[in-house]
Structure 1
Amino acid sequence: MEIVHLLRAAAVELGLHSARFANRNGMHATDVRALIALMDARRAGEETTAGRLGAALGLNSAGTTALLDRLERAGQVRRVRGRGDRRTVVVEVTDDAVALGQAFFGPLIERSVELLRGYDDQQRAAIREFLDGVRKAAAEGTHTSPADTPQGEP
């Protein structure tokens, strides 16, 4: 359980770090999650429509539009025509948003990479497998509900 509790503590600290970024830049927490999703898509070479982004964030159409309008006004995203299908409008994160994120999150990312250098390939593979498994469990909702959790073990 110690590792599970450490993972929970790390998740809390990462959430607080993200909240500080949002606060310093006049953003909502959902704005930050949207930018992360768009940066991940950019890194993977994928195009993201507003509908796809909204679904990933659990937003309805109106909420997604409000989010994108806010981010577009702030210069964080732009709406452009799709590469493969020019009829499709996709959302891209701007270079300014990437630079803003790198300036704030870069030191944490660099420290994380530095920590990982202390592990061999087999250990990194185990860490990757564990984190991916936890991510999938959370995404699929396979964890127990709060009502199923014993007192004192959130």
Structure 2
Amino acid sequence: MDLVHLLRAVTVEFGLRQAEFAARNDMHPTDVRALICLLDAARAGEPATPGLLGARLGLNSAGTTAVIDRLERLGHIARLPDEQDRRRVLLGVEPQAVRLGWEFFGPLIEGVLDVLHGFTPTERETVRRFLSATHTALAPQPEP
């Protein structure tokens, strides 16, 4: 249980930093989670659609639209036409939002990377396996 409690403590700290970032930038905490989802989708090469965003955030269509509208109004995202499917809209994170995120989260990420540099490659792989399996265990399971 010690590891579960430590993981929970880390999760709480991440949540507090996200809330702090949101408050400093006149955003709702869900807006920060939305930006993270969109950045993760871009890194994974997934098309970032409103449907994908809503599913990842657990929001209905109206809630997803509200988040997208807020982020667009703040200049953090843009609605883009899909080159392959003209009926579909894609969401892109604007460079100024990435810059704002790095200004705040960059030093925190550097601290985590410094911690990881103290681990051997084998230890890092064990941490990766643990976090991946935990993520899978916590992620919503598709209904049969």
Q: Normalising to structure 2: TM-score of the pair?
A: 0.93
Name 2:6's counterpart in structure 1. Answer: 6
Q: Does 1:132 align with 2:132?
A: yes
Instruction: Measure how far apart 1:66 and its partner are.
Output: 0.9
Instruction: Render the CA deviation track for 1:13-35: whole Å, top value 9, x for unaligned.
Output: 11111110011111111100000
Q: Tell me, in whole angstroms, the C-alpha distance in 2 between the residues paired with 1:28 and 1:57.
A: 13
Q: Normalising to structure 1: TM-score of the pair?
A: 0.87
Name 1:145's counterpart in structure 2. Answer: none
For the aligned residue pairs, the C-alpha RMSD in angstroms reads 1.2
Q: Tell me, in whole angstroms, the C-alpha distance in 2 between the residues paired with 1:14 and 1:23.
A: 14
Q: Tell me, in whole angstroms, the C-alpha distance in 1 between the residues paired with 2:10 and 2:55.
A: 26
AA partner of residue 44 (structure 1): A
AA partner of residue 30 (structure 1): T
Name 1:90's counterpart in structure 2. Answer: 90
Instruction: Measure how far apart 1:83 and its partner are.
Output: 3.3
Give the gaps of 5 or more residues in structure 1: 142-154
Identical residues among aligned pairs (%): 55
- Misfit runs of 4+, over 4 Å: none
Q: Tell me, in whole angstroms, the C-alpha distance in 1 between the residues paired with 2:82 and 2:104.
A: 30
User: Higher Cα Rg: structure 1 or 2?
Assistant: 1
Q: Tell me, in whole angstroms, the C-alpha distance in 1 between the residues paired with 2:110 and 2:6.
A: 20
Instruction: Measure how far apart 1:137 and its partner are.
Output: 1.2
Instruction: Measure how far apart 1:82 and its partner are.
Output: 1.5
Name 1:63's counterpart in structure 2. Answer: 63
AA partner of residue 54 (structure 1): G
Name 1:77's counterpart in structure 2. Answer: 77
User: What secondary structure is seen at the aligned counterpart in 2 of 1:99?
Assistant: helix
- Please give the residue correspondences for 1:1-154 in structure 2 after superposition, counting only pairs within 5 Å: 1-140=1-140
AA partner of residue 103 (structure 1): E
Instruction: Measure how far apart 1:86 and its partner are.
Output: 3.3
Give the gaps of 5 or more residues in structure 2: none
AA partner of residue 7 (structure 2): L
